[in-house]
Amino acid sequence: MRRRTAVAVAVTVLASGLSGLMTASPATADIAQTQVVSANPVDNTPHVKDGTVRAYAVVGSKVVVGGTFTQVQQAGTQKVFDRTGIFSYDKATGVIDTAFAPKLLKSTKDTDGNLLPGEVYALQPGDNGTVYAAGYYVTVNGATVRSMARLKLADGTNDTTFKGQLGSNAGVRALIRRGTHLYAGGTFTSIGGAARTVLARLNATTGAADPNFVFTLAGPLNGGALRVESIAVNLQDTKVVFDGNFTTVNGSARSQVAMVNVTDTSTALSGWSTTRYGNVCNQTAFDSYVRDVDFDPTGAYFVLVTTGGPFGTTTLCDTAAKWDATQTTAGQQPVWVNYTGGDTLLSVSITGVAVYVGGHQRWLDNPFGHDTAGPGAVERPGVGALNPTTGKALSWNPTRTRGHGAEVLMASTDGGLFIGSDTDELGHEFHQKVGFFPAP
């Protein structure tokens, strides 16, 4: 999905009768589930030995994992593999794929003179056994490919027919695929062969920047580099919501979040807007505090999660907030808000029956908490689920060691939920950075 954003991530399936041709059914917003997932994670997921897991994509039988790591370990064994920010494993068995080991590297070096490993912030499934991998890197397998590539799962090579790479040493933080459209957000000023500042839509086949999708973002809110943090696109591919540290879009006030209406040939800034993200949560710590956004499977609403600092219900710092996506006017107010009472939320995934949120929160339902459990607060360390109608915490409470937080949540078509983080305990079990809650 989104961080992402960021991040929302698509799932691909084998098309029946097409000799293994893979087709993409894009993004978590199209994955409706009928039950809340189990609180007991499966036992066979691999372990990521360092860094953080930031992204997932499922391509056929393979799960692709992205992040800021250098080593992964086969569950139940001592087998450790070097990986530069990306690897894949078999979803059914948990066995790490030894053939898929693309080498993504930065241009900077460590103290020993070695190039630093790349960082993968976003993944989306491609066709014919490929995966889009975006983040911060400058080479793939020794060739210059800046921060955006389509990789072949069979052998880890770069598909050179895709020309979506960036034009400078910047990065991509969010990626969503909808059919022939590939939406990207980050810190770039050019991508897909054209000038685009922090937001773009690419042709999913060629990687070329779409001339019909051009928006001018400006800011930032509180210093720092201008960026788009997360992107959500409804299943119909008619509405795009994105967040970041911008304050205007096409010259109109849009503080940290905006919606645009899209077709294949036209795009327009929506009249939908809110001033609720116009304040600064923490003057010294955050240039922006929006973190992730996701549409529900019907596209009727979206939920945006934040970090923050100050306490109280006058701001949307450290919250999950539901917004009506059918509205088209200024001055929008959230349908509901769930406050953590002072802790960050980093990720969100909506399945229709639940709004899953992850971060390093200690509590939910905590509007009167001040780094404490206020009246009505419920413990939901590191991960929780909200009622989509009321916004109140559901009883689902697997727990995880909090660390910096759960950077990614991604619903799956089999009724489960992937979670990626920087810590080693999930559901009271040892799971290093990678976890999967199955259907109950």
* Inside any domain, residue 281: yes
CB count, 10 Å around CB of 15? Answer: 12
Query: What value does the mean pLDDT take over residues 27-46?
Result: 88
In which domain, by residue range, is 21 found? 3-427
């897991």: which residue's tokens? 53
Structurally, the chain folds into a number of domains equal to: 1
At 202-251, the pLDDT tens digits run: 999 999 999 999 999 999 988 889 999 999 999 999 999 999 999 999 99
For the residues of 91-148, what is the DSSP string, one character each?
Answer: TTT--B-SS----EEEEEE-TTSPEEEPEEEEEEE-SSSEEEEEEE-SEETTEE--SE
At 264-311, the pLDDT tens digits run: 999 999 999 999 999 989 877 889 999 999 999 999 999 999 999 877
373, pLDDT greater than 90:
yes
Q: How many distinct helices (H) and strands (E) make up the chain?
A: 0, 42
Cβ burial, residue 131 (10 Å; 0-12/13-18/19+): buried
Q: In this structure, are residues 433 and 420 in contact, taking their beta carbons and an 8 Å threshold?
A: yes
Percent of the chain at pLDDT above 70? 93
* Inside any domain, residue 434: no
434, pLDDT greater than 70:
yes
Query: What value does the mean pLDDT take over residues 298-326?
Result: 94
* Inside any domain, residue 437: no
* Inside any domain, residue 432: no
Q: In this structure, are residues 417 and 429 in contact, taking their beta carbons and an 8 Å threshold?
A: no
Residue 29's pLDDT is 55
At 137-152, the pLDDT tens digits run: 999 999 999 999 999 9
How many residues belong to the chain?
440
- The pair of three-digit structure tokens given for residue 1, joined into one six-digit string: 């999905």
Q: Give how far the C-alpha of residue 93 lies from the chain's centroid of Cα atoms, to the nearest Å.
A: 25
**Distance separating alpha carbons of residues 92 and 61, to the nearest angstrom:** 7
* Inside any domain, residue 199: yes
Beta partners for residue 203, in sequence order: 181
Query: What value does the mean pLDDT take over residues 10-28?
Result: 34
Residue 11's pLDDT is 39
**Distance separating alpha carbons of residues 64 and 45, to the nearest angstrom:** 12
Residue 14's pLDDT is 32
Query: What value does the mean pLDDT take over residues 170-194?
Result: 97
Q: What CATH number does residue 144 fall under? A: 2.130.10.10
More confident of the two residues 341 and 10? 341
Question: What are the backbone angles phi and psi of residue 29, rounded to the nearest 5°?
Answer: -65, -15
* Inside any domain, residue 192: yes
At 38-97, the pLDDT tens digits run: 999 999 999 999 999 999 999 999 999 999 999 999 999 999 999 999 999 999 999 999
Q: In this structure, are residues 178 and 27 in contact, taking their beta carbons and an 8 Å threshold?
A: yes
At 92-131, the pLDDT tens digits run: 999 999 999 999 999 999 899 999 999 999 999 999 999 9
**Distance separating alpha carbons of residues 184 and 143, to the nearest angstrom:** 22
